Structure 1
Amino acid sequence: MVKVLLWGSLADLTGGAREVEVEADTLRALLDGLARDHPGLRSELARGVSVSIDGRIYNDSWFTPIGPESEVVLLKRLQGG
């Protein structure tokens, strides 16, 4: 299981839980698991989110591996120029 910290208002979509756990070994599996286990997150996940894995931000790198001890933070999609 991977512990996922929900940043900012994303926690409101899980009934106030700031940290959730999901079974995942890749970024794609993480997002699929979050959508399955926490339906309130589905609309935000569909819009796109950013995920920090061990301090590095990923947006669409589906096959990025995630270890059971990885620090994972889910954020609203980071945009900028």
Structure 2
Amino acid sequence: MSVSVRVPTILRSYTGGDSEVSAEGATLAEVLDDLDASYAGIRARILDDNGKLRRFVNVYVGDEDVRFLDDLATPTPDGVKVSVIPAVAGG
């Protein structure tokens, strides 16, 4: 299933500057695997060494935070938008 992935500015060096790319997969984990196959190294910026979402990276499938769904097993229906959003801290 083809999905659209919105890439934050900080990760666009992996996508040649593209702010949105396409990836395939029935789940978020499969989408990230496909994304990494096309843009080597990007998955390591989203997942930690244990294969879990990094603490300061938020990922949405549609409008839903995957941490409140099925995390990496969240289904990614054809045509859905996946958004990778780094957390911002400050005061």
TM bucket normalised to smaller: 0.7 to 0.9
**1:70 — aligned with what?**
80
Q: State the 1:24 CA deviation.
A: 0.9
Letter in 2 for 1:6: V
Report how many aligned residue pairs link the two structures: 79
Q: % of aligned pairs identical?
A: 28
Q: State the 1:46 CA deviation.
A: 3.6
**TM-score, normalised with respect to structure 2:** 0.70
Q: Distance in 2 between matches of 1:40 and 1:15?
A: 13
Gaps of 5+ in 2: 49-53
> Contact 1:5–1:72 at 8 Å: present in 2 too?
yes
Residues 11-52 of structure 1 deviation map (CA, whole Å, 9 limit, x = unaligned): 122110111111111011011111111104143134334311
**TM-score, normalised with respect to structure 1:** 0.77
Q: Distance in 1 between matches of 2:59 and 2:80?
A: 12
Gaps of 5+ in 1: none
What secondary structure sits across from 1:39 in the alignment? coil
